[in-house]
Amino acid sequence: MNKLGLPVLAAVLLASASTGVIAAPEKSRQEIVAERGPAVMPFDLQATTHIFTKTTSGGIQQVAAKNSRDEEQIRLIRTHLKEIAAQFSKGDFSGPTHIHGADMPGLAELKDAKRSAIKVQYQELKDGAKIVYTTSQPRLVNALHEWFDAQVSDHGHDAMEGHDHSKMHAR
């Protein structure tokens, strides 16, 4: 570095620091999802667990309160899943798009599918609720599986993969 190089570099760094131009570290995808989540999901992500179970005909999306006595979280889970099941049945995937982004794996295929191609069924559970997705189209089963994988990744510690119990007892 020449004689002028060091003072110029020091001046640039000092000016950047005083004007706030130094870039903050980028947020992780999980941090972004956690920030966007409350705009769509009324329950507390940290008080609930998302379970995504891939099946041969689609999958099961379940949300359960971590405390089975937390009646408020259970009520909020049920209200939310009932609403999104109705939206998904109409082909409206705006909730996941808002939280996870339009480029979320599998989401474009699900949005483009005919409404009758995927059966979406809401069910209440003791500690929350679930949505069962069923389709006979392999490309949509694949899209659901990609979408589930992305959600497990995006929700981090608040999500987990489930197990298809129908495959556990092979005869």
The full DSSP string for 2-65 is -TTHHHHHHHHHHHHHHHT-SPPPPPPHHHHHHHHGGGT--S-GGGEEEEEEEETTEEEEEEEE
**Measuring CA to CA, which residue among 41, 65, 66 is closest to residue 154?**
41
CA dihedral 28, 32, 34, 37 (to 10 degrees): -160
Please report, for the chain, the start and end positions of each structural domain, with discontinuous segments joined by +.
27-161
What is the residue-level pLDDT of the chain in tens, covering all 171 positions?
555 555 544 454 455 454 455 555 576 444 545 554 444 455 677 888 889 999 999 999 999 999 999 999 999 999 999 999 999 999 888 877 666 567 788 888 998 999 999 999 999 999 999 999 999 999 999 999 999 998 887 756 666 678 765 554 444
Instruction: Say what the pTM is.
Output: 0.72
